[in-house]
Structure formats: C-alpha cells, structure tokens
Amino acid sequence: MSEPSAHDIKSLAAEWRDRKDREDWSAEDEAALDGWLKQSSAHMIAYLRVDAAWSRADRLSALRGSTPRREPPPAPRATRSRPIFFRIAAAAVVLGVAGYAATTLLAPHPKWQAYATQVGGSETIRLPDGSRIELNTNTVLRTELSAGHRFVALEKGEAYFDIVHDAQRPLIVQVGKQRIVDLGTQFSVHRDESHLEIKLVEGRAQLESETGAKLALLTPGDVLVKRGPSLTVTRKTERVLSDELSWRRGMLTFLHTPLSDVARELNRYNREKIVIADASVARLTMNGAIPATSVSAFVNTARDVFGLKVETRGQNIVISR
Amino acid sequence: MNAADVNAWFVREVLPLEAGLIRFLSRRWRNQKDVEDLLQDVYMRVYEAAQKELPHPARPFVFTVARNLLINRSRREHVVAIQSVADVDLLNVFDEEPGPERNVMAREELVRLQEALDQLPPRARQAVILRKIEGLSRREIAERMGITEQTVNRHLTDGMYALTEHLWGKP
C-alpha cells in the first residue's frame, strides 16, 4: 500500500475542519478527530494549517456590505517587488509599435503598460482575465488590454504565456514583424538579434506575417525557429520541452549539451560572462540542472568534474584546458 | 514542550514561510510533482524537532531542514553529479534569497484573503461568502443557493481547502 500523498492528507484535514463547523458535531466526532490527529504529525500539521486559515477568514466579515471584487485588481504584483517597473505614456509607445498604431489609436483608452527584467531577473504578470505571463532574464514586454482586444509586444528576451482563451478577444503577441495569435494556449517566445523561437506547450497558436498571412499553426510539442526568411518546426517530447522551460523555476537543464551552448545560455542570465577558450573544451558535454544565476555551480563543475582551468579576467571567466 | 505551545508556534512562525519555502524547493528540485510532498516532509521534521525545543529563530532552521532534506533525497535518488555540485550553492541561500516575508499586517492579510476568495470556483465562493461574511447557517445557505445541505458542505470544504492553499502558499 502506498502512503497517502500530502494532497490527500490536506483534503482530509479540510474535511475534518468542515465537519467540526457543522451543527451536528458530537463528542464522538471530537474523539475521532483527536484520534486522527494523533496518528501522524502530518495530520496535525495539515489540520493546523487549514484551521488557522479558516479562523483568519473570519476577518472577511469586515467586508460585509461591500461586494467583494470578482476581478483581481489590474495592477500587477510587479509593482511591489520590481525596481524597474514603469509605465509609458500611451502616445510614445504607440509610435514604437508600427503596424499596430492604427488599431491602438482607434481604441477608446488604450492602456499600455511596460515591464522589464534585468539580467538574471524574472517576473510574473497576472492579467485581469486570469492569464499569466512569466518574463525571463533581460526581457522587455508591453501589454495593451481593452474591452475589445488583448495585445502584447515582446520587445526583447523571453516570456512564457499561459493564456485564458477568449474567442472574442484572442491574445496577440507581436514579435518583430510577426504576430502570434493564441487559440487558447501555453507557450513561450524567445527573440534575440538573429532568431525567433516559439515553444508550444498546450493548445494551439498561429504565427502570422506582417501582412496577416498564416506562416504556421502550432500544436503541443512544436518548436518553431525562424531565422531571417527560413522557418523550421520540430516536434519535441513533453519531457524535453519541460526541461527547456525550466528557467520558469530558475533552473537551466542540460542533456548532452556542449559546454559552448551551456555557457551561452548561462551568459543570458549573468553579468559575469563565461568564455570558452578553445574548441576542444567547447565540445565537452554536460547533463543536469543548475540554478540560472549560479555561475559558480558551472565553474565548479568545469574545474572539479572536467578538470579545466578557470581564470577570471574582469567580467569574464575564461575556461580552458 | 507542551503540544498547544508547539502548535501555536508552528502557526505563528512556520506557516508564514510557506510561499518562500515552496519557491526554495521548486527551484532546487527537478520534478515539480514532488514539491507538495517535500514540503510536508519539511514540516514534519520541523514539527517533530519543535517537540523538544522551539527552534529560534525559526526561519534559518526551517530552511536548513529543507536544504538537508533535498541533499538526502538527491543522494538517495542518485541525481546526476552536476546536481550535487549545484547543491554547494544551497549554502548561500540565506543571503541570496530573503524570500517574501509574510508576517503580514492585518490589513494586508485581509487583501490576501479577499484575493483567495476571488479565485474560488463560483459556487464555493458564494458558499464561503454566505457563511463567513453574511454569517448564514448551512441550512440557510442551502435555501439561498437552492441546493442540498450536503452540497453546501462540499462547497465549503472545497472553499476551505483552496483558501488555505492560497493564504499560505501563494507568493
């Protein structure tokens, strides 16, 4: 028999706590609860947790008379923790996103908000419709939401989109000249100087050109890479895709990855840059997961596992034989 | 230690660390499906240690327990070499990541509760509002919502569960 999961125990604890709240709660029930709590400290902890939350919920009575909001407030959590959260005057931004200026100007009150993360930073934006956007390192993104449309421009970097579908108001992500139109999805988009990459995790999304021509329809597992005019779509397994998106938890996962690629990936997240000095080192491969902002974890591996030479030169960490 | 003291200490000092603890665990453990159980293990170890003496201050103690648990687990599961190298970094965790402290003031807590309430499924939300805000009995709620008392109970249990998860666990 397998042990009950933490989830099962928490459900039971909620069930007990709710029963105790009922009018027919008896002395026998109380004794039975007591017995259950004594069985395991996991039971006791789960019960303390739900009991404390439920008692605190009494404070909600302070809201009596006011109707509790249905919508979470539009101001994203980012405001609290982010030093570089900023708003940009609507007019200035409209100019910045050519091709969308027309619709934007016609919208009654376009509400632009811009978000940015620094090198090594990350941020989660919650939209009022329940959608979430996770910003990876060194990323700039703007949102414009109105009753009529949902529009996001990824200016640079990488973001993961978990979008609540709305057929009347599909979410459009503008990346350079292309647009991604969500058809109810979770996907990530990464752009840099030379390429655009889209990984589709759930649902469907469509990539459209500047003129609105359909370039590709993506389904789960699809990874689209566009470099200049060339466009390829490959299919990856859920496991591989989840490893590639482990930055969402602050980790980078590698599977037989050449050190040159590992270094390039880590350099996206850190101000100290790893430089691989010779080609024979670059070809070594590595497996495993390391925290994205931990250059030292990589450097220690290079030195201790691969026996390589590590030298610090200013901002650069040079790795050689 | 007296059981009531341990329980009160746990609610006051440990539960407010939950969101930070979840973040700590999920950043350092590959399989996210394990995080809920890992959290339970950390809690059990902390709770059992507190029977002898209440650890003070609580925060570094709780995170050290979490770190040791992860290291033991990865040894047991033969996680690839690089991961244990990365473990070295766990030692710096206290400087690196103060984490969202959540010994919140009453007002902020009300905001959090309201957020939690907003995220409940509509029927559970309505049941919780009628019970906690309007102060109706279960029978009155059943009448108001046009459902059986049994269904009211189910909505309230679900609401209680979700409220608990949000209040302690969400960053």
* A122 and A169 in a common domain: yes
Omega before B57 within 30 of 0, i.e. cis: yes
CATH architecture designation of domain B3-96: Orthogonal Bundle (1.10)
Query: Does A106 share its domain with A50?
Result: no
Domain-located, residue A50: yes
Residues 13-42 of B with CB under 8 A from A: 15, 26-28, 30, 32, 36-37, 39-40
d(CA A40, CA A75): 42
What's the pLDDT score for residue B120? 87
Q: Give SS3 for B89.
A: helix
Q: Could you tell me if residue A72 is inside a domain?
A: no
- Shared fold status for B3-96 and B106-169: no
One domain for residues A206 and A313: no
Q: Per residue in B103-133, is it b (16+ CB within 10 Å) or e — as a string?
A: eeeeeeebebbbbbbeebeebbbbbbbbbbb
Cβ contact B10:B1 at 8 Å: no
Q: Which residues of B touch A39 (CB under 8 A)?
A: none
Question: Contact at 8 Å (CB) between B145 and B126?
Answer: yes
Local confidence pLDDT in tens for the 171 residues of chain B: 788 899 999 998 999 899 989 988 888 887 888 899 999 999 999 999 999 999 988 888 999 899 888 888 877 665 543 343 344 334 333 322 333 333 334 566 777 788 888 888 889 999 999 998 888 899 999 999 999 999 999 999 999 999 999 989 887
Which single residue is written with the structure tokens 């960053």? B171
The predicted pLDDT at position A129 comes to: 84
Contacts of B138 in chain A (CB under 8 A): 22-23
Among the partner residues B44, B88, B160, nearest to A14 by beta-carbon distance:
B160
Task: State the amino acid at position B82 in one-letter form.
Answer: I
Interface membership of A98 toward B (CB under 8 Å) = no
User: Which tokens is B25 given?
Assistant: 């665990």
| Residue A292's CATH number | 3.55.50.30
- Taking an 8 Å cut-off on Cβ atoms, the answer to whether A14 and B32 are in contact is no
Residue A68 included in any domain: no
A256 touches chain B (CB under 8 A): no
pLDDT of residue A229: 80
Answer yes or no: is A70 within a domain.
Answer: no
DSSP B71-87: HHHHHHTT--HHHHHHH
Tell me if A1 is assigned to some domain. no
Same domain, A182 and A211: yes
ipTM: 0.87
Does one domain contain both A48 and A181?
no
Query: Quick one: pLDDT at residue A111?
Result: 64
| pTM, rounded to two decimals | 0.49
A162-173 residues labelled b (16+ CB within 10 A) or e (exposed): bbeeeeeebbbb
Query: Could you say which of A212, A240, A268 is where a domain stops?
Result: A240
Return the pLDDT at A42: 95
Residue at which a domain ends, from A39, A63, A87: A63
Instruction: Tell me: do A56 and A205 sit in the same domain.
Output: no
Closest to A252 (Cα-Cα) out of A56, A321, A263, A260: A263
Per-residue pLDDT of chain A (321 residues; tens, 9 = 90+): 467 899 999 999 999 999 999 888 898 899 999 999 999 999 999 999 999 999 888 877 766 654 444 433 333 333 333 322 233 222 223 233 333 333 333 334 456 788 888 888 888 888 888 889 999 999 999 888 887 788 899 989 999 999 988 888 889 999 988 899 887 789 999 998 888 999 999 988 989 888 888 888 999 999 999 888 888 888 888 888 888 898 988 888 887 788 899 999 999 999 999 999 888 888 888 777 788 888 888 888 788 777 889 999 989 999 998
Do A201 and A314 reside in the same domain of the chain?
no
- The answer to whether residues A32 and A92 belong to one domain is no
- Domain holding A158, by residue range, is 78-240
> Do residues A112 and A189 both lie within one domain?
yes
Task: Please name the residue that has the structure tokens 């309201």.
Answer: B114
Question: What does the pLDDT read at residue A63?
Answer: 65
Name the amino acid, one letter, at A260.
S
B110–A62 CB contact, under 8 Å: yes
Does 1.10.10.10 match the CATH number of domain B106-169? yes
Which CATH number characterizes residue A211's domain?
2.60.120.1440
**What is the rounded CA–CA span in Å between residue A82 and residue A65?**
34
The structural domains of chain B, with segments of one domain joined by +, span 3-96, 106-169
Q: Output the pLDDT for position B124.
A: 92
Whether B26 and A18 lie within 8 Å, measured CB to CB: no
Overall domain count for chain A: 3
Chain B partners within 8 Å of A44 (Cβ)? 7, 47
Q: How far apart are alpha carbons A259 and A302 in whole angstroms?
A: 9
Using CA atoms, how far apart are residues A165 and A78, in angstroms rounded to an integer? 23
Per-residue H/E/C for chain A: CCCCCHHHHHHHHHHHHHHHCCCCCCHHHHHHHHHHHHHCHHHHHHHHHHHHHHHHHHHHHHHCCCCCCCCCCCCCCHHHHCCCCECCCHHHHHHHCCCCHHHHHHCCCCEEEEEECCCCCCEEEECCCCCEEEECCCCEEEEEECCCCEEEEEEEEEEEEECCCCCCCCEEEEECCEEEEEEEEEEEEEECCCCEEEEEEEEEEEEECCCCCEEEEECCCEEEEEECCEEEEEECCHHHHHHHCHHHHCEEEEEEEEHHHHHHHHHCCCCCEEEECCHHHHCCEEEEEEECCCHHHHHHHHHHHCCCEEEEECCEEEEEC
- For B:130-149, CB contacts with A below 8 A are 132-135, 137-138
Same domain, A116 and A218: yes
A192 within domain boundaries: yes
Claim to verify: residue A36 and residue A106 sit in the same structural domain: no
pLDDT at A286: 78
Alpha-carbon distance A125 to A115, whole Å? 9
Residues A274 and A294 in one domain: yes
